[in-house]
């Protein structure tokens, strides 16, 4: 491959020359080899944190949510803060998979699978908090509008809290289907590589009889395109509905029409920061620097610059409207955020979300994995404080000074939040061991990107035989070409 010509205008998406078979070997290696001691240490820590969190949740369910730091003034705090935080984290996965797919962004191919999985795991973490907040989680099914014998007791369809139930459940369902459909070709590859036994039988069922024929690929690409179209509105609608939990109230600091686009931009902002955090670790631990390249990291930092700018604009717009409206209560709410008892939280939010993303304007920083990793953590911290500031500072000083109060989270609340990180990383580590973390088929489709000739040719190509073309070469043209793989995915 040393004599292979590279494009002077574009960089390859796979930086090192690989054959199709070598790519399959590399991506399937974490599934087929024994886990390393590093994986066991990480998994042990994650499971320990998860177990501690589960014990704390069991304690508060048995005791009641009186163990939280809530009071008569502040009825929402850590639980809803964490709910909105985790829902936001899950937004980048669908955006990378669906919206970037529709915009024909080929660089998404190495990161979409892990981002989609992250979406599912984050939504699972988010769903825990409203269920616990009910006080009687064993009656959580009451929020579902199904025929029942409870007389006039029925769900309130005018409540944004019920809208959350439908938005989150729909988002999770469509994201799971989209993720699974994208997995099918790779599941067939793993099926064909597996030896006879339970593992092969499981992947045989999960691959749904995939054969890699022209007809199979054509129908697969049609379904994938339709699901991408269905998932795209969900990226915008889910956090819009979550924002209505606050925007439809009459509380100063919440009652504003800017919340839907503000929340969506913030969700994509925090979601991409979490994807960067995980991908930087993954590319180093698994040796995928040639698949998850600096170009992938740089493109994601550029999206963070854009969404960070939108979030900064939203912060400024809130203050401007509070002043321009002439409403003394609205003005007080925002002055209290910036200079009141929780000013420290507000300025942490501003520093992390407004100042730190601008460092990505420097190419040296946005192409440094270490700097990107640190800044992605800073942004995630800032986005958590954004939700805390919006919720707590708007509630703790309301219209009556006699009801003003302060909020301090208890160890139970902090332990529950930390426990959700244990759940998130436990699921992600299991995902790395059980399923291909990178889409094998899609990465193969971009293997020759910016190269003169397909990068899979690790040796001089054989003389073409015009009268016997490969059947895959005449696969029906698709508006969105994906992988070129077959059941016999052997090294070439």
In the chain, % of residues over pLDDT 70: 89
Is residue 266 a contact partner of residue 372, using CB atoms and an 8 Å limit? no
- Which tokens go with 399? 């219209």
Q: 451 phi and psi, to 5 degrees?
A: -120, 150
Which residue in the block uniquely carries the two structure tokens 């939010």?
Answer: 349
451: helix, strand or coil: strand
C-alpha distances out from residue 317 to 313, 323, 448, Å = 6, 10, 46
Identify the CA nearest to 85 among candidates 300, 390, 313: 390
Mean pLDDT confidence for 462-467 = 41
Task: Please report the pLDDT score of residue 457 as a whole number.
Answer: 46
Q: Tell me how far apart the alpha carbons of residues 306 and 239 are, in angstroms, rounded to a whole number.
A: 18
Where residue 471 falls among pLDDT bands split at 50, 70, 90? Answer: very low
Whether domain 20-144+155-451 has CATH 1.20.1630.10:
yes
Task: Please report the pLDDT score of residue 488 as a whole number.
Answer: 36
Per-residue pLDDT of 219-257, as tens digits, reads 999 999 999 988 888 888 888 898 988 888 888 889 888
Mean pLDDT confidence for 176-204 = 89
Q: Where are the alpha helices (DSSP H) in 340-453?
A: 343-350, 363-366, 369-395, 411-434, 440-445
The torsion of the CA quartet 125, 126, 128, 132, rounded to 10 degrees, works out to: 140
Per-residue pLDDT of 120-133, as tens digits, reads 999 999 999 988 88
Per-residue pLDDT of 263-313, as tens digits, reads 999 999 999 999 999 999 988 888 888 888 888 899 999 999 999 999 999
Identify the CA nearest to 419 among candidates 42, 123, 45: 45
Domain ranges of the chain: 20-144+155-451
Task: Please report the pLDDT score of residue 487 as a whole number.
Answer: 36
Task: Please report the pLDDT score of residue 289 as a whole number.
Answer: 87
Q: Name the more confident of 252 and 148.
A: 252
Whole-model pTM? 0.85
Identify the CA nearest to 22 among candidates 433, 449, 447, 437: 447
Q: Tell me how far apart the alpha carbons of residues 364 and 104 are, in angstroms, rounded to a whole number.
A: 27
Which residue in the block uniquely carries the two structure tokens 């990505």?
Answer: 360
End-to-end Cα distance, the chain: 14
Does residue 205 register a pLDDT over 50? yes
Mean pLDDT confidence for 64-76 = 88
Which residue in the block uniquely carries the two structure tokens 């025929």?
Answer: 147
């Amino acid at each position: 491959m040393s004599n292979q010509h590279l494009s002077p205008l574009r960089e390859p998406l796979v930086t090192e020359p690989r054959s199709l078979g070598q790519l399959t070997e590399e991506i399937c290696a974490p599934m087929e080899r024994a886990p390393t001691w590093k994986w066991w240490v990480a998994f042990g820590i994650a499971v320990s944190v998860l177990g501690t969190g589960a014990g704390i949740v069991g304690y508060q369910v048995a005791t009641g949510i009186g163990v939280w730091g809530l009071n008569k003034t502040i009825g929402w705090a850590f639980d809803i803060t964490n709910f909105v935080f985790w829902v936001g984290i899950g937004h980048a996965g669908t955006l990378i998979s669906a919206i970037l797919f529709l915009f024909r962004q080929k660089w998404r191919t190495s990161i979409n699978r892990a981002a989609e999985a992250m979406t599912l795991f984050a939504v699972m973490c988010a769903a825990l908090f409203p269920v616990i907040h009910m006080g009687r989680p064993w009656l959580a099914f009451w929020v579902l509008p199904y025929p029942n014998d409870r007389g006039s007791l029925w769900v309130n369809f005018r409540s944004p809290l019920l809208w959350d139930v439908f938005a989150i459940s729909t988002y999770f369902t469509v994201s799971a289907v989209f993720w699974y459909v994208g997995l099918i070709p790779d599941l067939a590859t793993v099926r064909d590589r597996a030896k006879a036994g339970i593992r092969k039988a499981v992947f045989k069922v999960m691959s749904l009889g995939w054969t890699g024929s022209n007809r199979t690929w054509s129908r697969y690409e049609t379904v994938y395109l339709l699901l991408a179209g269905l998932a795209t509105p969900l990226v915008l609608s889910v956090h819009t509905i979550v924002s209505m939990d606050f925007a439809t109230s009459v509380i100063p600091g919440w009652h504003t029409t800017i919340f839907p686009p503000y929340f969506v931009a913030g969700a994509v902002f925090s979601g991409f920061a979490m994807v960067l955090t995980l991908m930087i670790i993954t590319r180093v631990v698994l040796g995928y620097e040639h698949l998850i390249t600096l170009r992938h990291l740089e493109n994601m930092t550029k999206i963070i610059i854009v969404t960070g700018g939108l979030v900064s604009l939203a912060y400024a717009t809130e203050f401007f409207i509070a002043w321009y409206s002439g409403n003394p209560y609205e003005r007080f709410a925002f002055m209290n955020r910036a200079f009141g008892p929780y000013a420290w939280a507000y300025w942490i939010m501003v520093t992390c979300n407004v100042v730190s993303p601008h460092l990505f304007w420097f190419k040296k920083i946005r192409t440094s994995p270490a700097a990107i990793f640190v800044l992605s953590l800073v942004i995630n911290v800032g986005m958590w404080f954004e939700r805390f500031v919006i919720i707590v500072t708007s509630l703790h000083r309301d219209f009556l000074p006699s009801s003003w109060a302060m909020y301090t989270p208890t160890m139970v609340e902090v332990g529950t939040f930390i426990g959700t990180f244990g759940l998130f990383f436990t699921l992600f580590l299991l995902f790395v061991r059980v399923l291909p973390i990178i889409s094998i088929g899609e990465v193969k489709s971009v293997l020759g990107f910016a190269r003169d000739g397909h990068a899979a040719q690790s040796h001089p190509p054989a003389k073409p035989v015009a009268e016997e073309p490969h059947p895959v070469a005449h696969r029906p043209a698709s508006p969105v070409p994906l992988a070129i793989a077959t059941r016999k995915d052997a090294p070439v």
